[in-house]
Amino acid sequence: MTESTTGKRIPAWGNLSLVAIISLQLLFLPGCCPTPESRPPIVGVAEVGLLVTDMEASSSFVQDFLGYAQVVGGKDGRRTFRLSPKQYLTLIPTSTRNEESMLSYVLLETTDLHGMARYLRSKGVCVPRSFGKDPLGEESFLVGDSPFCRCGFVQYPEGGEASRLTGVPLPDSGIAPRMSHVGFAVGDLQKAFSFYRDILGLSEVWRNPPLPENPSVVHMALPDAPFTLEFLPYYRDLSYAERCSKNHICLEVGSIFPCVGKLSARRAPEGVPRSSEIKVGHNGKRQANYFFPDGTRVEVMEDHLAEE
């Protein structure tokens, strides 16, 4: 309080100009103070897009050999297969092999697509102003400057096609009940960390070897769901076959032996590279590897350590 020339006590802010008072009041109005964008939850690995030069052979590999049903066939020649209640694999036709990668994109599921776009823009990430549609017709977008593998986001709202399909039983022929991770070649590990760890919030689970320098594998957990991305760093130029081996999807199973038995009884399409034997991977889990006609690897892996 201050004292006026008449001796009356008046509030201290009575000496402020009208403009200053209005400015102070505006600060407390909702929406007038900019607040930092928070990252919406990332709740799953929703969809993977693979380039294929032989659509019929690749579709047969997914449907007849791996046992997953096609749910969408696009006018542009793309075909989408359902791997689990909320996970999809889309095959994209191409006339020539991409020597860099036949792994086209990975869509992560979020609960707030528009909020995720605002958050990424606030971090300086290039996000399109208008969104596209995924093969199921749901809004989605791909990030313009994510390193190594194009990363994007999709939201599956109630009432959408993905929500409807969630209630549709999967065929028993599918070799695994879910896709646990996607792996891809990484030429600059620190750049990958700056995007996936520092911006998206993924955290390192394990690496091999467990040393700070030059790891061959770095496994990164999604922040809000039991799924992972696998970085496969490289320190020299890779051949096409080496890139295809690093860029892969992982189908997770309880026991690998009956799965390999089923696949051995099924006929793979002509031209599919030979599968590997069952082995224990760097993470201590049994696995076997199969390959698309173009060479992209499909890892079938147990959900527990071999000695358990």
Question: How much is the pTM?
Answer: 0.86
Confidence of residue 74 (pLDDT cuts 50, 70, 90): confident
Structure tokens at 145: 């400057």
Residue 301: Cβ within 10 Å count = 21
Q: How many angstroms separate the CA atoms of 174 and 185, rounded?
A: 27
Q: Which long-range contacts (CB under 8 A, 24 or more apart) does 71-76 make?
A: 71/136, 71/165, 72/135, 72/136, 74/135
Confidence of residue 270 (pLDDT cuts 50, 70, 90): confident
Confidence of residue 7 (pLDDT cuts 50, 70, 90): low
* pLDDT above 50: residue 24: no
What pLDDT is recorded for position 9? 52
Average pLDDT over residues 237-254: 94
Angstrom CA distances, 35 to 29, 115, 138, 264, stand at 13, 13, 29, 57
159-172 tens-digit pLDDT:
888 888 988 999 99
149-207 tens-digit pLDDT:
689 999 999 888 888 898 899 999 999 999 999 999 999 999 999 999 999 999 999 99
Half-sphere exposure of 93 (CA within 13 A, CB side): 13
* pLDDT above 60: residue 27: no
Average pLDDT across the chain, whole number: 87
Average pLDDT over residues 274-294: 93
What pLDDT is recorded for position 149? 67
The answer to which of 10-14, 81-85, 209-213, 292-296 has the lowest mean pLDDT is 10-14
Angstrom CA distances, 112 to 141, 153, 165, 234, stand at 12, 9, 20, 34
Q: How many angstroms separate the CA atoms of 151 and 149, rounded?
A: 6
Angstrom CA distances, 275 to 137, 198, 287, stand at 35, 37, 11
Q: Domains of the chain (ranges plus CATH)?
A: 42-302 (3.10.180.10)
* pLDDT above 80: residue 11: no
Burial status of residue 47 (CB atoms within 10 A of its CB: 0-12, 13-18, 19 or more) = buried
What pLDDT is recorded for position 166? 86
- Beta strands 9-10 and 2-3 are antiparallel
Average pLDDT over residues 209-230: 93
What pLDDT is recorded for position 146? 52
Q: How many angstroms separate the CA atoms of 160 and 150, rounded?
A: 24
Strands across the sheet containing 87-93: 70-73, 79-84, 87-93, 42-52, 103-110, 150-154, 139-142, 132-133
Chain center to CA of 235: 24
Place of tokens 């297969």: 81
Percent of the chain with pLDDT over 70: 86
Average pLDDT over residues 217-244: 94
* pLDDT above 70: residue 35: no
Confidence of residue 100 (pLDDT cuts 50, 70, 90): confident
* pLDDT above 60: residue 145: no
